[in-house]
Structures are given as structure tokens and as C-alpha cells.
Amino acid sequence: MKWINFFVNQNIPHYIYKLNKNDIIIINRINSYTEKSIIILYGSLYIINTFTNQEELPLTILNKNNIFDINNLNTNYRSYYQLIALEKTYIISFQFNHIKNIKEMDKYHLINIINSYQKTINKYETMNKILSHKYIKNRLIQLILFLFLEFGNIHGKQIYIPFKISQKNLAIITGTNKTTINKVMKYISKTLFINYAIKNTIHINDIYKININ
């Protein structure tokens, strides 16, 4: 509620949207009046930069309190961004200029905005490191560990990602295809004890058995 209260109290124009799993928001630079900034209130999104030749560049996975601001990204009019919900997600959209034009902002909200930007930058850096791996196997392992770290729920020795993620989504995020993902997931399951269930859930039955070399 802190973000909603902030926008209401400061009279900043905004919209709140609910996204169901796999819903997509497309953001580009064509319309200068479009709200090009969002804050995630709840849930998670993965971001893809799509070019006119249909080439897709995975960027990052964002979750609660992360900020997506197209004006801070190095892009042009030949591409657009797809923001795809990994689970039920609520976002608030706005024009960042409206925040920058506030003459007097209390310290609490200023710190929140700075912290949210820093967390978002860290997510981009983490995803760059994941995608920099030459081999898909290493990309997928690092991605899954990132998901466990960011979203994992722990019960005793078990840890699981609370939302379903399809092989298609894993393929898009890691820049490969479903066939390769299927093969790598079988390898991961046998060697690292990271299980990918039929219902597209990822879990570890015993975290003490996992061995990453």
C-alpha cells in the first residue's frame, strides 16, 4: 500500500493493473504520452526486448518493489518491450517525470525510490551474468538458483518455487528452445537433485543433497 498511498497523496496520475499468469504488457517509445514506468506491487515479470526482425533479447526477471523505466534503457524505436507475468501480478504505471517534478518529497519515499532502483539494477546485472555463460546448461542452473533465491519457499529440507514456469518460458529467458531445456532439466534432476515436476513446478526435496561444481 505504500506506493499507492504515495501516488494518491502526491496527486500523481497513475493506473493499477492486475495481470494473470502469462499476460503481456507491451511498452515502446512510439507514444511519448504513454506511461512508460511501472512499479511491481506484487508478483513477478520477466522482461524481453523484441526487435522488428522478431529477434528476442531476454533482459531480466523483476518482482515486488522493482521499477521498470523504459527511459533508463538503451533502446530505440526499432524494438519494444514485453513484460510477461510469471504469476498473478499487480503493477502501478505512471510517468516518471511526474515524480521528478515533485519539489518536496519526504525522506521516506525518496529512500524507497532509490532502493527500488538499486534492487532493479542488481537484477539486470544478475541476469547479464546468467546469460553470459556460454553453455545453456550453466545458464539454466544459474537461472534456477536465482529463482530459488528470489522466490523460493522453504519447508524443512525442501525448497520450491511457488509459481509454475513452463519450459517455453525457461527457453525464452535463457535464449534456447524447449527441446534443449527438456534435456538439460533431465540432467539437472539426476545430478543436482533439482526436480522439475509435470505441473511445471521446480523444487528440491533435500537442500543438503545439492552439489554445484
DSSP 97: H
pLDDT digits (tens, 9 = 90+) for 83-129: 999 999 999 998 877 777 776 666 677 778 888 888 888 898 999 99
Residues sharing a CB contact under 8 Å with residue 45, sequence separation 6 or more, in sequence order: 19, 61, 62, 63, 68, 83, 84, 85, 86, 89, 91
Between helices 107-131 and 136-151, what is the axis angle to 10°?
Answer: 150
**CA 30, CA 13: separation in Å to the nearest integer?**
20
Mean pLDDT, rounded, for 73-87? 80
- CB atoms under 10 Å from CB of 27, counted, come to 21
Structure confidence at residue 66 (pLDDT)? 93
The percentage of residues in the chain with a pLDDT greater than 90, rounded to a whole number, is 20
The mean of the pLDDT values for the chain is 84
Structure confidence at residue 172 (pLDDT)? 87
Residues sharing a CB contact under 8 Å with residue 120, sequence separation 6 or more, in sequence order: 62, 66, 67, 68
Give the confidence band of 33 by pLDDT, cuts at 50, 70, 90. very low
Domains of the chain: 2-131 (2.60.120.10), 136-204 (1.10.10.10)
Interior CA angle at 87 toward 11 and 95, to 5°?
Answer: 25
Structure confidence at residue 180 (pLDDT)? 92
CB 56 within 8 A of CB 4: no
pTM for the model: 0.80
